[in-house]
Amino acid sequence: RRIMATVSVCKYYPGGFSFDNCKRNALLEADISKLGFSSPAARKTGTTICGVVYKDGVVLGADTRATEGMIVADKNCSKIHYISPNIYCCGAGTAADTEMTTQIISSNLELHSLSTGRLPRVATANRMLKQMLFRYQGYIGAALVLGGVDCNGPHLYSIYPHGSTDKLPYVTMGSGSLAAMAVFEDRYRPNMEEEEAKRLVRDAIAAGIFNDLGSGSNIDLCVITKGKVDYLRPHDVANKKGVRTGSYRYKHGTTGVLTKTVTPLNLEVVEESVQTMDTS
């Protein structure tokens, strides 16, 4: 009697993303500080971002400060990202994460739009963003305000790093979101006119800029309506660099010269170029 015994040991591949390195990194982070070094801080957009649905569309707003720890890394960064001609997305959290995530979804949405032959819908962008962020279980630190106008009207979503979304008429995100939300809760009305909506968003971002340390500089606005987008950057330069009242320049001859030695260096100039530093 022949017995066919098939003992197959199927290795069970659990599948899914492996987050083991994240735990390792957290332990390394703790060890590094014991040795006296500090790991480079990720550049974050401290941020106040917000959006509001009004009569003809949506208005998105953002401040323009990017921080690295307690230092301002960029005084005029752009936080309102392009997703598609009718959809824009503000990003708070880790600057690199918001930038790359919105670019990836923008790219995929363009391909999707070519495949369907239709203008992309805000709900589609929302689905793509939430499914990606959920897949990475919150390790991609991108908190987004997604707004746009499509065939079903104006839509506004807030998207959290773990992948949960809320569809609301007005939303705020970022470290200055409480200040901005206070302004919205006071003055929001359904079906506002464009000027009123722009004023409301501008004031909400201003509340974040002046009351939150993580937000600052200028206010950018993006007004999206059916068929038209107004990208107003900057809409309001709320923080102009001041002019010094006094001058600390000393007159020539203030410091007495004791000796002077000139040593010529015989160099051949091969190429000369001037690069100016943006000190604005």
Partner 1 sequence: MATMLQKFPSSVSTLNDYNALYPDWTQREVSTGTTIMAVEFDGGVVMGADSRTTTGAYIANRVTDKLTPIHERIFCCRSGSAADTQAIADAVTYQLGFHSIELDEAPLVQTAASLFRDMCYRYREELMAGIIVAGWDRRRGGQVYTVPVGGMMTRQPVSVGGSGSSYIYGFVDSNYKPAMSKEECLKFTAEALTLAMERDGSSGGVVRLAVISEQGVERQVILGNQLPKFSTV
Shortest Cβ 42–partner 1 spacing (Å): 6
Q: Which of 6, 45, 47, 48 is catalytic?
A: 47
164/191 with CB nearer partner 1: 164
DSSP state of 228: E
Shortest Cβ 83–partner 1 spacing (Å): 19
Contact between residue 123 and residue 106 where contact means Cβ atoms under 8 Å apart: no
Shortest Cβ 279–partner 1 spacing (Å): 26
65/198 with CB nearer partner 1: 65
Q: How many of the other CB atoms lie within 10 Å of CB of 176?
A: 30
Separation between Cα atoms, residue 215 and residue 209, nearest integer Å: 5
Separation between Cα atoms, residue 237 and residue 235, nearest integer Å: 7
Indicate the angle between helix axes 122-135 and 95-116, nearest 10 degrees: 130
Shortest Cβ 35–partner 1 spacing (Å): 12
DSSP state of 239: -
**Cα 257 vs. chain centroid, distance in angstroms?**
53
- Catalytic-residue membership of 124: no
40/253 with CB nearer partner 1: 40
Do you find a cis peptide bond into 234, omega within 30 degrees of 0? yes
Shortest Cβ 166–partner 1 spacing (Å): 5
205/223 with CB nearer partner 1: 205
Give the pair of three-digit tokens for residue 115.
Answer: 């495949």
Strand, helix or coil at 77?
Answer: coil
135/226 with CB nearer partner 1: 135
Q: Kindly give, in sequence order, each residue whose CB lies less than 8 Å from that of residue 130, ignoring residues fewer than 6 positions away.
A: 159, 163, 164, 165
Chain positions contacting partner 1, by CB under 8 A:
22, 26-27, 29-30, 33-34, 38, 41-42, 44, 46-47, 69-70, 92-94, 97, 130-131, 133-134, 137-139, 141, 143, 158, 160-166, 168, 173-175, 178, 213-214
Separation between Cα atoms, residue 109 and residue 175, nearest integer Å: 29
48/86 with CB nearer partner 1: 48
* Burial degree of 215 (CB within 10 A; 0-12, 13-18, 19+): buried
Shortest Cβ 50–partner 1 spacing (Å): 13
Q: Which residues are catalytic?
A: 47
